[in-house]
A = this chain, B = another copy of it.
Amino acid sequence: MKKNYLLAPGPVQIPPEILLEMARPIIHHRTPEFEKRFKDVQDLLKELFQTNNPVITFSSSGTGAMEAAIVNTHSPGDQVLVVENGKFSERLTLISKAYGLDAHVLSVPSGEAVDPQKIKATLAENPQFSSVMLEYSETSTGTMNDIEAISKIVSASNALLIVDAITALGVVNIPCDKWKLDVVIGGSQKSLMLPPGLSFLWLSEKAWAKALKSTLPKFYFDIHEERKALEKNTTAWTPAISLINGLYVALDMMSSFGWKNLFQKNQQLMEAVHNGVSALGLKLFSKSPSVSVTAVCVPEGLDGNILVDKLKDEQGITIAGGQSELKGKIFRIGTLGWIDDGDILVFFGALEKVLLQMGYSFTPGSSLKAVQEALLKNA
């Protein structure tokens, strides 16, 4: 009889309309039906990325598109700058090194966003960098970088700006063309409300031009093969057909709801979470909190692993704990994808129960009152 709530920063809950679409009998992908569907998906992806350029869809998890972003825009020995402020940005360095790139790391303390002026200074001293890579939203610490400010700096240089937006795309406004971003990476299991298994890659004209000269080896993630296939409204390799069908429904739902409304909803949910956290006397981990995911410091003396386990096992609520050195020290709740006001109330209702059991003192109901105040703001 217990209800389960998946409130992690991805994968997220999937609307039944999408689950049922994916449960329909499969169609062959080399047919006019699939090509029509994939054309519609393309048009909606262009809305999402706010672009006229093609958006490539890979059958892989997000890490695949991160690899694709790097191997398609570089050649052996290229010097790249990776802004590291958490576990996912570190992956950009690992991929770069795996492919023989000379990766320089601009290290930012955990829970902080990079100061755009530091990127400016680094690029001024190192005009040889062929790209700057970073996370839009660093999911491991709930931190958002100021990509708009950074894009103004990098777009004025020769370097490409490669943005891993897996947990930010569809959560906040990312006008790829307007901001002159160069490479933007997305994944299906975040704001897009799908299971994992699809990833996305968008490139600016500047990035496509570099991609033509790239000599790093690639095959499955070769964007030129995909671009050729896109002209025929299909994919180079057999696509994850059921996920593409679900993607159409997801994008159509989002587009119908309105992109601006969606970004506003996510912002308001984040503010509601912040209010609730603050009412309980808890602290945010990040100094530049992400709209997609809120990382909360576990109070002194409590074990965050136990907190996360009790929420899941006793309250049916799956959130994420901390990773690596943050294990047990923070917990993370997502405010992206198919999540609404009610979910946030359910979460804080359960969180209060668990905190009470763990001996943490606070005024019962205080977080719910604070959450509701934020939720009523635009009502």
Interface residues of A (CB under 8 A from B): 4, 6, 8, 10-14, 19-20, 22-31, 58-64, 67, 94-95, 98-100, 187, 189, 195-197, 216-222, 237-243, 312, 318, 320
Contact = CB atoms under 8 A, between A and B. Distances in A.
A13 B31 contact: no
A237 to B, nearest CB: 4
B243 A28 contact: no
Contact of A196 (B31, B61, B240): B240
Secondary structure call for the A interface: loop
A220 B64 CA distance: 6
Given A59-B59, A216-B217, A220-B221, 5 more contacts: A19-B25, A22-B23, A27-B318, A61-B238, A195-B240
Tell me the number of copies of this protein. 2
A62 B238 contact: yes
Given A98-B218, A99-B219, A238-B189, A11 B29 contact: yes
A242 B237 CA distance: 20
Contacts of A27: 6, 318
Contacts of A187: 238
Contact of A242 (B20, B22, B218, B219): B22
Contacts of A11: 26, 28-29, 238, 241
A217 to B, nearest CB: 5
Contacts of A24: 19
The 7 closest A-B pairs by CB, nearest first: A197-B240, A23-B23, A195-B242, A63-B237, A61-B238, A19-B23, A98-B219
A195 B198 CA distance: 13
A98 to B, nearest CB: 4
A6 B25 contact: yes
